[in-house]
Amino acid sequence: MAKITKIEPQIPALPTRKKVAAYARVSMETERLHHSLSSQVSYYSELIQKNPEWEYVGVYADEAITGTIAKKRDEFKRLIADCDAGKIDIVLCKSISRFARNTVDLLETVRHLKELGISVRFEKENIDSLSGDGEVMLTLLASFAQSESESISNNVKWGVRKRMERGIPNGHFRIFGYRWEGDQLVIVPEEAAIVKRIYQNFLDGKSRLETEREFAAEGITTREGCRWVDSNIKVVLSNITYTGNMLLQKEYISDPISKKRKKNHGELKQYYVEDTHEPIIDMETFQYVQSEMARRRELGALANKSLNITCFTSKIKCEKCGKSYVRNTRKNRAKVSQLGDQLVGWVCGSSKTKNGKCKAMEIPEYILRQKCAEALGLEEFDEDAFAEQVEVITVPEQGILNFHMTDGTEKTLTWVSTAKKDAWTPEARKKASSYRRNHAMKRYDVTCFTSKIKCADCGNNYRRQTRTKASGEKYHLFVCATTNTCSNNCIHEDTLRELTAQALGQQALDEAVFLKEIDHITIAPGGHITFCFYDGHEVSMEYSTKRRMPAWTEERKKKQGEAIKASFTEERRRKMSETMKKIRSEKYWASTKAKR
C-alpha cells in the first residue's frame, strides 16, 4: 500500500518592520517657527505611521536651540541614546541643517549611527547615510550648512552692532539692582540698597573679602539665593551700568560654532551710552572706586587688611615659578625649645596649591630676619628700615637670598637651616622620649603593650607581629625588635593578655587598669616574665615557650585520610608487598645463620 504524507500549507512570514523615528529642530523661539516645528512633528508622525513596513517610534524635537553645538540639544542626545539602545533602525530628518550645522558633529554622529547599522535619511537633499556616496555628499552639504550658519552669525552681529551704534543694547541682560520694564531698566529698591552698601564698604576701606564675610554673617544673598563671593562683589564694583550709563559690547562671541565668549579688551569697538536709566551710584564715586581698585591691585596683598600680613608679605619671590612666598605657621611638636610652641616659616605660594609643583624649601622666619638685618648692616632686624630699603628678595635656589635694594644695588647672602637642631634641645628630646615610653603611637597595629615590653637579654622593646595560619586565620605575637641577633623567645598575645590579667588579679584584662598600674614588662629567655608596677613591686611568672601546633579540625582529618587512601594505588601496594617479603626473608636467613 502506498505511503501518504500530508503537507501542511506554509504561512508566509511577514517581513520585520523597521523601527523609524524622526528629528526636528528650530533655532529661534517665535510663533512662526513654533508653528513650523509643530508642522514637522505632525508631518513625520503621519508619514511613518502610514507606511506598513515601518514601526513608529516617535519624533524628537528641539525648540529654540542652535544646531552648532550637539551637547546643548536634549532631544538630539535622547535620540542618539535610543539608537545606541537598539530602539531605532531609521532616522528621518527634513534637511542636513536641521540635523546639525557643525560639520564635525554631523559626520561623527552619522558615522557612529552607520556603525550601528542605522540609516539617517535627509529629505531635502535626498541622501541616505548608508548609501555608497552618502558620506561624500554629507561632507559637502554639511560644509555649506556650517558656512551658512557662519554667514547668519555675521549678519546677526552686524545688526547687533548697528543697534549698538544707536544706543540699543543687545537684549535684556540681567543685572543685580535693576529689572526690565519693557525696554527700560528700573531700580529694585531692596537690591539697590545692597549695591550701595558694597560701594560704601569699599569706600570705608574694607576689602571685598570683608564684605563677603559680613554678608554671610547677616544672611544677605544674591537674587538666586546664593552666597555673595569675591567675584560677584568685584563685578558690582566694576559695572558702569550702576551710574545710569551703559557700555555696550563688553563681551563678544569669537567663534559662531563653539559659541565661546571673550571679554572685549579692545579687539572690537565699544559703545558708551549716557543717561539710559536711573543711577544707583554717582559717576564720581564710581570713578574713585576704579582708581582705588587699581591702587590696591598694585599693592597686592598689602592692600587687603583682612589678610594676616607682615613686612615680608609680597616681598619674597621664587625665581623658579615666579610666585610670592607666603607665611606658614605650624605647631612645634617638640614644644620644649627656644623656638617656642609655634614654628613660623616662609614657603613658595605654589607649594600651598593643590597641584603645586614648586618644591622650594621653607625659610624659617627667624633666619630670614637675621639675614635681612645682615643685608641692611644692622645688629637687629628693623621692619621700617627693611620696608624702606629692600624692594624685593628673590630666591633662585635653596640656601640663597638675593636682596634687591631700592637704590638699585643687590646683595646675595647664603643661609643654612638649623631649625631641627634648634628645636630638638636636650630637654625636648628627654620630654619626647618620656612621652613615647608611656604612650602608644596612634597606629592600627598598636595595643596597650606597645613600648611596654622590654627584652631582659638586649634591653630593646618587643614589637607586635601578625602571622597567618594554614587555615588563613591570623594571630599576633610579640618579638624582640632585634630578632636577628637576639635569641630571646617570642610570646603570643593571647598568652600575654592571660598572664597580665593574672598579675593584676583580673579574670579578663582591663587595658585602662594595666596602663595605670604597670610601668613595664620584662621578658627573659626560657619563658620568664616579670611585671614591674609603678608602686615598685614586681610579679614574676613563667610560660611555655614550646611551639604551638594548631589542633586538627575534623575537615583537615578527613582530607588527610582521603589523601592517604588515594596514595595507596595497586602498584604501590604491590611494591610495598614485595619489599616487605624481601625484608622478612632477609631477617629469616639472618636469624637462621646466627643460630648456626
Residue 575: pLDDT above 80? yes
* Residues 122 and 210 both lie in one domain: no
| Contact call for residues 201 and 210 (beta carbons, < 8 A) | yes
Most confident of 295-304, 520-529, 547-556: 520-529
Q: In degrees, to the nearest 5, what angle opens at C-alpha 485 toward C-alphas 484 and 487?
A: 95
Grid cell, residue 18, equals 523597521
Residue 21: pLDDT above 90? yes
365: Cα separation from own chain's centroid? 32
| Contact call for residues 434 and 417 (beta carbons, < 8 A) | no
Can you give the pLDDT at residue 91?
Answer: 92
371-427: pLDDT as tens digits: 899 888 888 888 888 888 888 888 888 888 899 998 888 888 988 877 667 666 777
DSSP 361: P
What is the phi/psi pair of residue 39, to 5°?
-65, -40
511-524: pLDDT as tens digits: 888 888 888 889 88
Q: How many folded domains does the chain comprise? A: 4
Q: What span, in angstroms and rounded, lies between the C-alpha atoms of 104 and 97?
A: 13
- CATH code of the domain covering residue 86: 3.40.50.1390
Q: How are beta strands 178-181 and 184-187 bridged, if at all?
A: antiparallel
Identify the bridge partners of residue 480 per DSSP, sorted by sequence position. 462
Whether 8 maps to a domain, the answer reads no
Q: Residue 90: which pLDDT band, with cuts at 50, 70 and 90?
A: very high
Question: What would the DSSP string read from start to end of 11-22?
Answer: PPPPPPPEEEEE
3-class state of residue 380 by DSSP: coil
* Residues 140 and 36 both lie in one domain: yes
* Residues 274 and 391 both lie in one domain: no
Whether 345 maps to a domain, the answer reads yes
* Residues 219 and 287 both lie in one domain: yes
Can you give the pLDDT at residue 143?
Answer: 66
What stretch of H or E contains 393? strand 390-395
Selected residue with higher pLDDT from 227 and 12: 227
* Residues 26 and 56 both lie in one domain: yes
Query: 3-state secondary structure string, 427-466?
Result: HHHHHHHHHHHHCCCCCCCCCCCCCCEEECCCCCEEEEEE
Q: What span, in angstroms and rounded, lies between the C-alpha atoms of 67 and 243?
A: 38
Grid cell, residue 46, equals 503621519
477-508: pLDDT as tens digits: 888 877 677 777 788 888 888 899 989 888 88
Residue 466: pLDDT above 90? no
* Residues 205 and 263 both lie in one domain: yes
Whether 552 maps to a domain, the answer reads no
Question: What would the DSSP string read from start to end of 112-140?
Answer: HHHHTT-EEEETTTTEETTSTTHHHHHHH
* Residues 406 and 453 both lie in one domain: no
Pick from 280, 303, 326: which residue ends a domain?
303
Can you give the pLDDT at residue 160?
Answer: 63
Q: Residue 573: which pLDDT band, with cuts at 50, 70 and 90?
A: confident
Can you give the pLDDT at residue 448?
Answer: 82
* Residues 386 and 260 both lie in one domain: no
224-246: pLDDT as tens digits: 888 998 888 888 888 888 888 88
- CATH code of the domain covering residue 219: 3.90.1750.20
Can you give the pLDDT at residue 254?
Answer: 64
544-554: pLDDT as tens digits: 877 656 666 77
What stretch of H or E contains 314? none
* Residues 201 and 285 both lie in one domain: yes
Can you give the pLDDT at residue 60?
Answer: 92
Whether 322 maps to a domain, the answer reads yes
* Residues 59 and 103 both lie in one domain: yes
| Contact call for residues 363 and 395 (beta carbons, < 8 A) | yes
Can you give the pLDDT at residue 303?
Answer: 54
Length of the chain as a residue count: 596
Q: Residue 56: which pLDDT band, with cuts at 50, 70 and 90?
A: very high
Q: Residue 337: which pLDDT band, with cuts at 50, 70 and 90?
A: very low
Domain span at residue 418 reads: 316-423
Q: Residue 312: which pLDDT band, with cuts at 50, 70 and 90?
A: confident
* Residues 369 and 255 both lie in one domain: no
% of the chain at pLDDT higher than 90? 5
Residue 307: pLDDT above 70? no
Residue 359 makes CB contacts below 8 A (sequence gap 6+) with 351
* Residues 54 and 93 both lie in one domain: yes
Q: Residue 169: which pLDDT band, with cuts at 50, 70 and 90?
A: confident
Can you give the pLDDT at residue 592?
Answer: 67
Nearest to 349 by CA among 374, 314, 383: 314
Can you give the pLDDT at residue 82?
Answer: 92
Global pTM exceeds 0.85: no
Residue 583: pLDDT above 70? yes
Instruction: Match 548608508 to its residue by C-alpha cell.
Output: 130
